[in-house]
Amino acid sequence: MTLLLAALLLLTAASGLGVVLTRDPRRQVFALSANGVVLTLLFLALQAPDVALSELAVGTAATPLLFLVTLVAVRINKSRR
Amino acid sequence: MTPRWRTLLLVLAGLVILPGVWRVAMALPPFGAPTSPYGQAVNALVPSLRHVSNMVSAVNFDVRGFDTLGEEFMLLCAVTGTVLILRGGRGEDRRAKAGRIAGRALEPRSDATVLICRMFGVFTLVFGFYVTLHATATPGGGFQGGVVVASGLLLVYLGEGYRGWRRIARAPVLDGLEGGGALLFALAGLLPVVLGRAYLENVLPLGTVKDILSGGLMLVENVGVAFAVAGGFAMIMVEFMEETRATQSEVEE
């Protein structure tokens, strides 16, 4: 295992821990997105560009967006009452 | 149970499991060792059998094409379910105003955001088409291309705002793409059946390796997947985004 892979694996663990330890949902969405970027780099370093592309689009753009929109909708609904 | 007892139980359970985990971990093949005979066989045989240089696409669309068809319809069902739950209520009108959170200032979109999104939105869309079209030659394929196109549409939303985005991402078109793509995949499988061969058997001319038109029937299935994924993801985004719009009564107030 090269130094690059070791560093990326450590970063993956750190960013994953970041997602778990973030308590505020809004910040958690961005932590999740950051975790997605790190995973994308890891997959790229492991020579799996197909998976890296999927992870980049789904993990860092689509999923966080859906969470953000849901949080917005919840807040708007709360302020309606 | 108090938190202290819970932690103690966790530590005890960890100690009990640890020897087993250790044995299994030590028996695993070393990191990155290519031991899968299936993978080796695909790498050795498929380039000459199917004239394809992207093995992932070859596995997805040809070697186990029927599984991918199932996954395709799983996606279709998931998107249909989401749309069924979220459609109606509010935001169906393309000009619907954004919902407001009371006591919060409205920040206009900055010029920098518009500029960046106009530049990268177009690039992202073109890259999505590129990834889709070169499925059998370079990494990527219908799924990746479709998702990239959908995130390109997202950049259009960020840059142009809700109305401009909805002018491009029209729900009936997205519905058609989603369903039509899945149908195209299923029909592509029926073509060999008409010719008296097995379902999804690769009967089209295979072309030359590393060419954009290599892989035969894979290309048709790939386009079907790209349509379905781009349409499905964009559809889900539209439906979610509609939930942040003002309701009819709020607009009339």
pLDDT digits (tens, 9 = 90+) for B5-60: 999 999 999 999 999 999 999 998 888 777 788 888 998 998 888 889 989 899 99
Q: Average the pLDDT over each of B97-106, B199-208, B217-226, B244-253 and give the range with the smallest value.
A: B244-253
Q: List chain A residues with pLDDT less than 70.
A: 81
**The residue type at B172:** P
B108/A contact by beta carbon, under 8 A = no
Specify the pLDDT at position B203: 86
Helix (H, G, I), strand (E, B) or coil at A12: helix
Residue B98's beta-bridge partner residues?
A: B245
Nearest-Cα distance to chain B for A10, in Å, is 15
The predicted structure's pLDDT at residue B95? 63
Query: What's the token pair of residue B80?
Result: 């249909």
Q: Is B69 exposed, middle or buried (0-12, 13-18, 19+ CB in 10 A)?
A: buried
pLDDT value for B31: 82
Give the pLDDT confidence score for residue B15 in this predicted structure.
96
Mark yes or no for CB contact B244/A46 under 8 Å: no
Across the interface, whether the CB atoms of B244 and A72 are under 8 A apart is answered: yes
Closest CA to A54 of B32, B36, B71, B49: B71
| Whole-prediction pTM | 0.87
The ipTM value here is: 0.88
